[in-house]
Amino acid sequence: RFCLGDGSDGIDPATEPVTFRFGSFERRLPPGSFRCRDGRCLFTARGPGLTRLLIAKNAFAAEGRGVDLGGTSLPVQVVLSIGNDVGRGPLPLFGVLRAAPALRAGGEGPGEAAVRRRP
């Protein structure tokens, strides 16, 4: 969830560059990467990496696969910038994060590492 600040000139993912960062992973998307309709803008791509980024009025959702998250610590820092507007914050995680092959050593199973929210 996000809210635009008082100094914002508004966002338009269809015509502005977008950068999404999740821990140590970052993807920059040039203008024209999103299809927008009814106030929702969607980016899709084949993996590995960011495969889906949906930006709506006050929320966003991201999906990815095959991403190397080496060096990422909890809570995960998430950054979303659209044009000259940027928001960031910690994301407490709970559940299982499937890891890229490079991160499999020491996980709880093949390609998995437990990621739990701190109480």
Apex 90 CA angle, 88 and 96, nearest 5: 130
Q: Residue 49: in which H helix or E strand, if any?
A: strand 49-55
Q: Tell me the pTM.
A: 0.74
Question: What's residue 101's pLDDT?
Answer: 44
Question: Is the CB of residue 100 less than 8 Å from the CB of residue 72?
Answer: no
For 50-108, how does the pLDDT look when each residue is reduced to its tens digit (9 = 90+)?
999 999 988 888 888 888 888 888 788 889 999 998 888 887 765 555 544 443 343 33
Tokens, residue 69: 């998250």
The answer to whether residue 26 scores a pLDDT higher than 90 is yes
4 pLDDT band (50/70/90 cuts)? confident
Q: Lowest-pLDDT range, 37-41, 67-71, 87-91, 110-114?
A: 110-114
